[in-house]
Copies of this chain bind each other. A is one copy, B any other.
Amino acid sequence: MALIIKVNDRDNVVIPVQDAPAGTEAVPGLKTIQDIPQGHKIALNDLKKGDEVIRYGVVLGRLARDVPAGGHIDEHMLVLPEMPDLENMPWGRAAGPDHGLPANLPSAFEGYEVPDSRFAGTRNILGIMTSVQCVAGVLNVAVQKIKTELLPKYPAVDDVTALNHSYGCGCAISAPDSVIPIRTLKNLMRNPNFGGEIMVVALGCEKLSLDMLLEPHENNPENVIVLQKQAGFKAMIDAVLSMAEKKLRKLNERRRVTLPLEKLCVGLQCGGSDAFSGITANPASGYASDLLVSAGATVLFSEVSEVRDGVQFLSGRCGSAEIAGKLLSEMKWYDSYLERGGADISANPSPGNKAGGLSNIMEKTMGSIAKSGSAPISGVLSAGERVSQRGLIFAATPAGDFVCGALQLASGITIQVFMTGRGTPYGLAAAPVIKVSSRTDLKNLWDDIIDVNAGTIADGTETIQQAGERIYRLIIDTASGRYAPFAEKYRLYNDICVFDPAPVT
């Protein structure tokens, strides 16, 4: 019997993991009646013209002609369902059932509590925010000294990181869209992994003034160093080291405690996707996401341009008309942002996608959405907005890995699961990143980069549920400090790439 993938119980099509010649047994009692290429759809029943083709539990389209059981359904045979009007999206109809958390899975983790924070940290890091790129050179020199001279004296602190970025001046700070980078930076320094300690290095004449980043009670010499007030370079370095030591002393007092998963905020992201991402790594992570949500955790998924074409399926999982409304307004903002810049949003899926078996935009998008499992969506965040709800949250960010990563950190994730097919060594300094491969080949090639192989699903050695439980356990182990993902071990950290849709000046 051939290896096949069925993503959802409702699906009336399956996908062969390898090319399936005519006569291959696809499921017990069903043989293919023609050659089916790898990753293409096989009808499970006799289907008639006009019947719905269901994959990922959703209608991909209606058949343009009859297809018998064991037959091939390609992109020419599918008529797209009419795209619902963005104004009249259904909501609250499509969320999957909550199966609850199996008794054999952990329902707590060991984290760092943070004063006045609904989420706990998974790491104990000194994060030094910058109000403008101008200070990056000085701060980098200072952080190097902190790492060699101070950090070893405070063994309970995991790391120190400079939150350098390209924002802060030379920007249209009063333009409407500037709310996004300002909010991002303000929230980023409040990530629970920084333990509630505020430390900002400013220049003194930047457009991003301290009152935009800090509350009045935070804006004082205990938390802020203004370089223009320092007597030269050596004084700057001394000032940064002196403040850093005070913060390190406080952070060094922190200890992990056993916490319910209500205190955990997990980010999901995919990058360098391939034809297997949507059938292995993403649904397995989606299953882990459902388990996390069942256990009370908060899970963020993102990437507007990856879900835009299937937004009706997300809308259907929104828990209220208000949540669906926010989802749609984020999509509209993004549509207009892309249009304004002359970005081409057509030509999707690409010819390469179609050759790989992705018949239409719905099918491609569902592969991306698969990472969110089937839980109801309990909130939608604008880019860089801080999460205030529990459960599964759509954080509306661009799909670029490094931009999405910075925005999810600002929203409050303290750990991220990153699914990849082609492979990327992506990582974040501010939170551990678990990398999940879609194919066993990638895990074999990148054995010391990929933390979890979900290619087992395509290999037929694991089910989506089994791989999902494995990812779930690794999330808990990583959050608890018992496992260091490869990116953390080797310190493979991407820059903080701020999303600034406003003009540079």
Contacts and interface: CB of A to CB of B under 8 A. Distances in A.
Interface in A258-274: 271-272
A176 B342 contact: yes
B134 A338 contact: no
Interface stretch (A56-64, A185-193, A491-499): A491-499
A467 interface: no
Interface stretch (A152-160, A241-249, A311-319, A440-448): A440-448
Contacts of A80: none
B170 A493 contact: no
A133 B166 CA distance: 14
A496 to B, nearest CB: 9
Interface string A467-504: 00000000000000000001100111111010101111
Copies in the complex: 2
B422 A233 contact: no
Contact of A501 (B134, B138, B504): B504
Contact of A170 (B338, B398, B492): B398
A341 interface: yes
A491 B137 CA distance: 7
Contact of A272 (B203, B343, B446): B203
Contact of A172 (B174, B338, B401, B494): B338
A6 B134 CA distance: 32
Nearest to A237: B490
Contacts of A236: 425
B232 A446 contact: yes
Interface residues of A, number: 71
A175 B233 contact: no
A411 to B, nearest CB: 17
Given A448-B233, A501-B503, A426 B341 contact: no
A52 interface: no
Contacts of A497: 133, 166
Contact of A493 (B140, B203, B499): B140
A234 B427 contact: no
B490 A401 contact: no
B138 A228 contact: no
B171 A341 contact: no
Contact of A490 (B171, B205, B233): B233
A505 B398 contact: yes
Contact of A133 (B134, B205, B234, B495): B495
A236 to B, nearest CB: 7
A504 B494 contact: no
Contacts of A504: 398, 400, 403, 499, 501
**A234, A340, A343, A426, most chain B CB atoms within 10 A:** A343
A422 B205 contact: yes
B505 A305 contact: yes
Nearest to A338: B503
Closest 10 pairs (CB-CB, A-B) = A170-B400, A137-B492, A172-B343, A341-B503, A166-B497, A205-B422, A133-B402, A232-B448, A175-B342, A134-B424
8 contacts: A137-B487, A164-B495, A170-B403, A175-B341, A231-B446, A233-B490, A234-B448, A337-B503
Given A338-B503, A341-B502, 5 more contacts: A134-B401, A136-B495, A228-B422, A232-B445, A340-B340
